[in-house]
A and B are shown apart, each in its own frame.
Chain A
Amino acid sequence: MVDLAYLRIYTTTVQSFMYQYDAIDQQLVEERVAQFRDQTRRYLNNELKEEEFLPLRLQNGLYIQRYAPMLRIAIPYGMVSSKQLRLLADITRRYDRGYGHFSTRQNLQLNWPKLEDVPDILEELATVEMHAVQTSGNCIRNTTTDQYSGVIADEVADPRPYCELIRQWSTFHPEFAFLPRKFKIAVCATESADRAAVQVHDIGLQLKKNDAGEVGFKVLVGGGLGRTPMIAETISDFIPRTDLLTYLDAIIRVYNQQGRRDNKYKARIKILVKALGIDEFRKRVDAEWEHLRGTESTVPMSEFDRLASFFTEPAYETLEEQPSILTEKLADSSAFARWYERNTFDHKKAGYRIVTLSLKKPGQAPGDATADQMEKAANLADQYSFGELRVSHEQNLVLADVRQDQLVELWEAAKENGFATPTLGLLTDMICCPGGDYCGLANAKSIPIAEQIQETFDNLDYLYDIGEVDLNISGCMNACGHHHVGNIGILGVDKKGAEFYQVSLGGASGHDASIGKILGPSFAQEEVGGVIQKVINVYVDNRTEEERFIDTFRRIGIKPFKEAAYAKAN
């Protein structure tokens, strides 16, 4: 058991702009801790068989990995308070090796906890309204969304109240804890860009208003990565928000009964949707929904109001857009200007800016943060952004509400703490899974590939000249690094016991989502950096002035890239 008195330092109340637990939410996470503590005890006493404990621990985010267990802590839709982040930092120090890994599902993974400590870790997390519920297993996983939610001008509505609604509906859903396979839902609220990758989720929800001005969702189904990557199809153009939960119940009830269970590689909903065709699948969902629509799970307006009330605007001040302290520094310092251009984003409120704290510093595994860095980030959030942060699916941290007149100060502090690598959206802002250095599933290491690419492309001027490229690395077909939807994707494969890497080009995860095409035979580890260099050269030689990498690729096709990558040296 944990001495909770020790944790009092984390329970000071600050004003919050995110969801706050009430007694019921708190009781649920505490009862979960007690349940898992008992399950762990029975397992360690040989009262629970290995294969029985497996799904129970997975539903608490606990994998048994290559060298040690891995615990995946949920960060619902990526929102984390400074208070929570400080406790996470402290947990990595006391129970792990002083660092953690932010994942593409906006969660935090610990690589070295001890199995017998996990109940204590969960008990500590519960004190700050956190948990590891359903971060793994064949159940509904953490719902993800745009890391800029609530602070950008062009969103239809703030998606976070809907994410919280889905979080509560999916948490301990009695019917859907043993689905054929894992199930991931993402929500996007903007037309201009899709930062939540809704087209490659089991269910993608595009927040929209219909002609009558009612809020609802375009619903996509059957997208996903893994062994058989697929872009989702539209199952409904508009589901009113009040009907969201009954519609989700209908989709997943059809999947739970009819999805394949004979082969785990064919068990995702995308395979069912593909096998039936979207029209037949829709017919079956509609038949189920006929029974569910209008029942008690229809969400009343009062609940939307209640949920929205947590995500209120902080006390923004009336500020000048582009204050002189900012514009002068932009003129004086090209380094600052670079960071501003890449790592900050337009805010809906005049005089504010969204800032990304990069976790892609050369020499550090992409998405990793040390305990010190987590604490620094928490301090920066307190000082500059109302005490809150977001985790992005590109594995960075975001301060959503920074005053423009404090950007210079923040930049200096970010530099000191390794957060100011000014490469957001560029080639070296890679998505990367932990790979064979940690993961028991991986065929190959991914972190050394990321390092090689960082070393190959270490010249900032050159990186800026190349411009926006999404480069994603996965250590195996499970595709945790989203390699299929990288403009450049790198996949670790096992070739007669040796680690090789397959390169694909042309993937994208936004509203124009596409699955990358495989370049050709895989490469040895030491060749990868050189191959990526050749691919980039083809782009640079062929691009028009306006074109990003993906645009040139779509225009000229894969052939020139293939020829360059496999050309025999003269």
Chain B
Amino acid sequence: MPKLIKNGEIVDNTYVWQQDVDASASDTTIVPMQKWLDNQDSIGNVAGIWIDAGEGVEPLAGVDLSQFEVIGINFPSFMDGRGFSYARLLRERLNYTGEIRALGSFMADQQGYLIRCGFNSFEFAEDVNLDIALTLNKPFNVAYQGDVADPRPIFLRRG
């Protein structure tokens, strides 16, 4: 079973990230958001959906997100930072409390920021050493800005 990092631990990856919706969609697959929106009546239960860069979270307004165990956000390149905003909006605006999974070409060194934006699982490329990646997930123990874990900026937290 492939592995991933979730909530700070290396665990089995029990979901399959599907690029397309096909007959194999099931309660263990993560399917493309737009395909799911277009075909939700016929698809049946899925583990979750994934959002591609450029799609944004606006299409999810009005959708009951609690039906998803996981929402994936794809990074077509580690330089593409749109997913950071998407995760914050899922958590802070759409109040999604399930798993938010980073997919695609993000880097282990980005985990600190990704976690602060609301990601809690990381499906790395196969060649990434997860033991090393795990050591990189908290480069800073203090922060100036509020974030998903604590919305208070530093000026509300200084003693």
Contacts and interface: CB of A to CB of B under 8 A. Distances in A.
- Is chain B a partner of chain A in the same complex? yes
Contact of A256 (B84, B107, B112): B84
Contacts, number: 104
Given A27-B141, A27-B142, 17 more contacts: A24-B154, A28-B144, A31-B139, A31-B140, A138-B81, A172-B145, A174-B112, A174-B113, A174-B143, A176-B84, A177-B84, A178-B79, A178-B81, A245-B153, A257-B56, A257-B86, A296-B152
B85 A175 contact: yes
A261 interface: yes
5 contacts: A27-B141, A55-B78, A174-B113, A175-B113, A178-B79
Q: Which of A55, A56, A174, A177: most chain B CB closer than 10 A?
A: A174
A296 B156 contact: yes
Contacts of B112: 174
Interface residues of A, number: 40
Contacts of A557: none
A182 interface: no
A291 B144 CA distance: 20
Contacts of B142: 24, 27-28, 31
Given A31-B141, A35-B139, A257-B85, A55 B79 contact: yes
B101 interface: no
A39 interface: yes
A543 to B, nearest CB: 50
Contact of B117 (A27, A55, A174, A296): A174
A32 B144 CA distance: 13
Interface in B112-153: 112-114, 116-117, 132, 139-147, 151-153
Contacts of A234: none
B25 to A, nearest CB: 28
B109 interface: yes
Interface stretch (A1-9, A116-124, A297-305, A489-497): A297-305
Given A31-B140, A47-B132, A296-B152, A52 B85 contact: no
A31 B138 CA distance: 10
A82 to B, nearest CB: 27
Contacts of B117: 174-175
Interface string B51-91: 00100100000000000000000000011111011101000
Interface in A161-212: 168-169, 171-179
A297 B145 contact: yes
Contacts of B79: 55, 138, 178, 261
A28 B153 contact: no
B60 to A, nearest CB: 14
A175 B88 contact: yes
A172 B140 contact: yes
Contacts of A253: 85
A295 interface: yes
A511 to B, nearest CB: 32
Q: Which of B142, B155, B158: most chain A CB closer than 10 A?
A: B155
A541 interface: no
Given A176-B81, A256-B82, A52 B109 contact: yes
A56 B80 CA distance: 14
A555 to B, nearest CB: 47
Q: Which of B141, B153, B158: most chain A CB closer than 10 A?
A: B153
Contact of B78 (A47, A175, A178): A178
A22 B158 contact: yes
Interface residues of B, number: 37
A296 B79 CA distance: 29
B81 A177 contact: yes
Given A47-B132, A256-B81, A261-B80, A177 B113 contact: yes
A39 B113 CA distance: 16
Contacts of B151: 295-297
Interface string B95-119: 0000000000001011011101100
Interface in B15-46: none
B80 A172 contact: no
Nearest to A302: B155
Nearest to B55: A257
Contacts of A56: 109
Nearest to A137: B79
A174 B155 contact: no
B141 A173 contact: no
Interface string A60-90: 0000000000000000000000000000000
Nearest to B152: A296
B84 A175 contact: yes
B124 to A, nearest CB: 12
Interface in A499-553: none
Given A256-B84, A296-B152, A173 B56 contact: no
A171 B143 CA distance: 9
Interface in A7-47: 22, 24, 27-28, 31-32, 34-35, 39, 47
Contacts of A52: 78, 107, 109
Contacts of A299: 155
A168 B144 contact: yes
Nearest to A48: B109
Contacts of A32: 139-140
